[in-house]
């Protein structure tokens, strides 16, 4: 039977390899820790029918569930004969059938969404100083100037 013994030289080489790995892994871990979590989130408050969600940075779509938070980069698709409602800040967004929406910016006081297709009804209950609500569509950038109810339709 063959046995392996570690010499001082082998132990030192192994120690150098481990130290080198830690040197490269530590800055990456620290960079991940330094990313601030979002200061605001939207909430899926209502789902009826087939509604899908693609979290930002992930390629897979999954079923959207009520009370799930959404943040920058998240996309939502409301399929045929379905609908959904999102709430954020002082606003409620009602997404109609065959609607694609994504969050471009969602920070303290700023809500910016992209409506790629479909129908969006939304209501801003109160527009506080510094609040920004913006809907970007293929041919339009709509910014809310006062509280009220609004509708935007995007056809292919």
Nearest to residue 101, comparing CAs of 88, 90, 89, 109?
88
How many CA atoms are closer than 13 Å to the CA of 145, on its beta-carbon side?
2
Residue 108's pLDDT band, with cuts at 50, 70 and 90, is confident
> What average pLDDT does range 65-73 have in this prediction?
96
pLDDT at 43: 97
Distance of CA 146 to the CA centre of its chain: 26
Check whether 67 has a pLDDT greater than 90.
yes
Rounded distance between C-alpha atoms, residue 77 and residue 79, angstroms: 6
Tokens representing 130? 């510094």
pLDDT at 58: 79
pLDDT digits (tens, 9 = 90+) for 8-65: 666 655 555 555 555 665 555 455 455 666 678 999 999 999 999 999 867 899 999 9
Rounded distance between C-alpha atoms, residue 47 and residue 93, angstroms: 12
**Position with higher pLDDT, 40 vs 68:** 68
Structurally, what CATH architecture does the domain formed by 42-154 represent? Sandwich (2.60)
> What average pLDDT does range 149-155 have in this prediction?
97
Rounded distance between C-alpha atoms, residue 109 and residue 126, angstroms: 12
pLDDT digits (tens, 9 = 90+) for 124-150: 999 999 999 999 999 999 999 999 999
- The DSSP call for residue 38 is P
Nearest to residue 97, comparing CAs of 83, 111, 113, 117?
83
pTM: 0.75
Answer yes or no: are the C-beta atoms of 123 and 146 closer than 8 Å: no
**For the chain, domain boundaries:** 42-154
pLDDT at 75: 97
Nearest to residue 156, comparing CAs of 110, 98, 70?
98
Check whether 76 has a pLDDT greater than 70.
yes
pLDDT digits (tens, 9 = 90+) for 50-63: 999 999 867 899 99
pLDDT at 6: 55
């Amino acid at each position: 039977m063959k046995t392996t013994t570690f010499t001082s030289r082998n132990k030192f080489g192994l120690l150098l390899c481990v130290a080198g790995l830690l040197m490269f892994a530590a800055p990456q871990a620290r960079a991940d820790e330094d990313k601030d979590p979002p200061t605001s989130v939207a909430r899926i408050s209502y789902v009826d029918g087939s509604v899908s969600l693609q979290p930002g940075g992930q390629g897979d779509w999954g079923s959207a569930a009520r009370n799930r938070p959404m943040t920058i980069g998240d996309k939502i698709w409301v399929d045929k004969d379905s609908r959904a409602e999102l709430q954020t800040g002082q606003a409620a967004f009602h997404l109609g059938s065959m609607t694609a929406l994504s969050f471009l910016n969602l920070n303290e006081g700023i809500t910016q969404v992209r409506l790629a297709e479909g129908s969006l009804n939304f209501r801003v209950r109160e527009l506080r100083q510094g609040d920004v609500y913006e809907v970007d569509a293929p041919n339009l950038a709509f910014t809310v100037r006062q509280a009220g109810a609004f509708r935007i339709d995007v056809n292919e």
